[in-house]
Amino acid sequence: MGLETTPAAGVAASEWLTPGEPCASFVMLGARSTIDNESRHSTGGRRSTVDSLCDSDGAANSFTAMRYPKAACGTAIAATLAMFACAGHSMPGMESMSGAYDSQVADGVTRLRAMTNAFHSLDSAVAAGYARDVADCIVHEQHGAMGFHHVNRAYVDAKLEIERPEILLYERKPDGKYQLNGVEFILPYRFYSRDSVPPVLMGQKLTQEDNLKYWYLHVWAWTNNVDGLFSTFNPKVSCPAGTAKLYKPSNEP
């Protein structure tokens, strides 16, 4: 079966995407399974969803352009799915994002990933002000690890800003390379009282950490976490021998 090349009846041609428009402008998260099935069917099962949706330069191809109208595309969730897909990275918690999180989260993750994409290179992160050398890899005795915390002290202030995460969470692989897994936002008690209502970012309440005297929120923006996008630890993350530092959050019994 060839690719569909005409818009659906009742929708003006001007309201549909055209080939070459950026991927981040079109894909609907709620239609993921439909897109997946239709793209395989229309291509004889030979191409992946990403291949079927996006050209190599990250633009909408003719199949996608003629099936998804602009009116359905302007949401942050759409931009999120498209960016993850066309950038060649799987979206963390894709299955849960479609039902458990709203557009506020999707928009926040989109912005966060756009800002931190360059930091897959530790050198780039260091150039932006994050620490290079971190001795301890934070681990939990039961729930996996956080990894290495690379802090940008210039960002530790009274503000929570998605584009300025205070900490980057890295995992050091057996070959010595660093893998960016996520970020941690922190807000010290000296700027925001422990006795106040919890501060909120991306619609999520930050958690108190009395050991370190700050509020915090983890976002596993670059790797899947079966415990959740905002979980404190990640069961998939591990620490190299000799670097692990056991840590128990203050809110655990």
Tell whether 107 is covered by a domain. Answer: no
Mean pLDDT score, 148-153: 98
- Asked, for residue 251, whether it belongs to a domain, the answer is no
Q: Which residue has the higher pLDDT, 239 or 89?
A: 239
Residues 61 and 151 in one domain: no
User: Domain range spanning residue 43?
Assistant: 13-88
The pLDDT of residue 200: 98
Decide if 23 is inside a domain. Answer: yes
When mean pLDDT is compared across 50-54, 151-155, 225-229, the lowest value belongs to 50-54
Shared-domain flag, residues 134 and 218 = yes
Q: Which of 154-163, 196-205, 238-247 has the lowest mean pLDDT?
A: 238-247
How many structural domains is the chain composed of?
A: 2
Q: Which of 77, 83, 67, 84 is nearest to 99 (CA)?
A: 77
- Verify that 237 and 133 share a domain, yes or no: yes
- Give how far Cα 117 sits from Cα of 112, 137, 160, Å: 8, 22, 19
> DSSP E strands: which ranges in the chain?
137-140, 144-151, 167-172, 178-188, 200-201, 204-205, 207-209, 214-219, 244-246
Average pLDDT over residues 232-237: 95
pLDDT in tens, 81-96: 444 444 444 455 444 4
pLDDT digits (tens, 9 = 90+) for 169-202: 999 999 999 999 999 999 999 999 999 999 999 9
